[in-house]
Amino acid sequence: MTEIDQAFVDAILPRRDPAADKDSFGRVLCVCGAAGYTGAAYFAAQGAVRMGSGVVTLAVPTQAWPVLAVKLNEPVVRPLPGGADGTLDRAAVPELLALAARADAVLIGCGLGRSPGVTEAVCAVLAQATCPVVVDADGINALAAHKDVLRQAAQPVILTPHAREFARLSGIAHATPDELAAFAQQMRCIVLYKGHRTLIAAPDGGLYRNHSGNPGMAKGGSGDVLAGMIVSLCGQGIPSVQAACAAAWLHGRAGDCAANALSEYGMTPSDLLGQLPGLLKRYNTREW
């Protein structure tokens, strides 16, 4: 098992090309949120922004659009057809796939809720995406009865479950490292298993362990920030396994900095976002 640390992450994150423009740093699509669940979409989109994406597009059901269009400045917020329950409707799928076709990486699942429309959207993205896909939260729940779609995906898929979500998907409660590795190989995906010591299992049998982070991060929204960070790194061209590992360590380290400054009790996911820029200064092209 490979341990993730600062040196591991330093070897992954490049200095930025001084002649670059926004297209050089990836266009990512976050498909997140539902009526009443706008926080998850906010944190995922801001995680991608703070991790350095060139352009972030957030696609949300129409009912959630007015809230998120006001709350977010950097991402482009696009409304998609929603059903009576405020989740994505089946009618959203064609437009969603058109947006995904223009993206360098896609995140789907944070705060989407559960409905037939959500399940159809998740399965369609995995079946047709031509770029890496990150699947979190309700996206993982949607795949529980459609694991064949996961196995057949043409592009790298990163799953980011906690223990209960992984149990719904795999039938395995409290998975061991060997069980995670076996699942990743069988399903040809990357599994980032969130917990006290987050584990990343790769389809080639590789296994990685992260040691950063603390109990103050056990608050709603923290995982959405992580999902946004992962899709951002994938969109910037970093290979999916390395993107998952680097994002996990930086996310935990941001949590450690927030806890040191504000306490484990008082820190929030917004504080994680606020700590990321300071952690990323070491990758500037020059001293300022």
What crossing angle do the helices spanning 93-101 and 116-128 adopt, rounded to 10°?
30
The pLDDT of residue 288 is above 90: no
Residue partners of 15: CB distance under 8 A and separation at least 6: 283, 284, 285
pLDDT at position 286, please?
83
**Binning pLDDT at 50, 70 and 90, where does residue 100 land?**
very high
Cα 219 to chain centroid, rounded: 16
With pLDDT > 70 as the criterion, what percentage of the chain qualifies?
100
8 Å CB contact between 224 and 214: no
Report the distance separating Cα 178 and Cα 161, nearest Å.
Answer: 16
The pLDDT of residue 19 is above 80: yes
pLDDT tens by residue, 41-96: 999 999 999 999 999 999 999 999 999 999 999 999 999 999 999 999 999 999 99
8 Å CB contact between 203 and 188: yes
8 Å CB contact between 53 and 276: no
Report the distance separating Cα 164 and Cα 146, nearest Å.
Answer: 17
pLDDT at position 18, please?
92
pTM of the model: 0.98
pLDDT at position 287, please?
77
pLDDT tens by residue, 250-270: 999 999 999 999 999 999 999
Residue partners of 240: CB distance under 8 A and separation at least 6: 132, 156, 158, 190, 234
